[in-house]
């Protein structure tokens, strides 16, 4: 069965994103989290987290090249997430 041109384009784009740099976006504002991730997903492999705790765990799982985080969140805030990520890199 032959694939049409659109199928090839979608497959190529999917492969390109898979090989793109990864970004972890952490924000407890779900609308903003969705906006940022949708804005970046065309060019980057985006993982999201809706809390500092979840962000810390996802960071260990996906080892992103970049993380974007809200600073003011309940529980573990963005600054604490960054500090813990840095500590894990140095170990």
pLDDT in tens, 12-68: 555 656 678 999 999 999 999 999 999 999 999 999 999 999 998 998 888 899 989
Write down the pLDDT at residue 90: 53
43, two tokens: 């060019």
Identify the H or E element spanning 49: strand 45-49
Q: Rounded CA gap, 73 and 52, in Å?
A: 7
Write down the pLDDT at residue 86: 78
Say if CB 33 and CB 71 are below 8 A apart: no
Say if CB 44 and CB 20 are below 8 A apart: yes
Write down the pLDDT at residue 9: 47
Confidence of residue 89 (pLDDT cuts 50, 70, 90): low
pLDDT at 8 over 50: no
User: Which residue do the tokens 């694939």 mark?
Assistant: 3
């Amino acid at each position: 069965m032959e694939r049409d041109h659109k199928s090839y384009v979608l497959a190529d784009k999917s492969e390109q994103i898979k090989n793109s740099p990864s970004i972890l976006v952490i924000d407890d504002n779900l609308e903003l989290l969705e906006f940022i991730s949708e804005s970046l997903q065309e060019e980057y492999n985006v993982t999201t987290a809706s809390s500092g705790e979840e962000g810390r765990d996802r960071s260990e799982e996906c080892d992103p090249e970049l993380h974007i985080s809200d600073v003011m969140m309940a529980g573990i805030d963005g600054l604490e997430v960054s500090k813990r990520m840095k500590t894990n890199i140095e170990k």
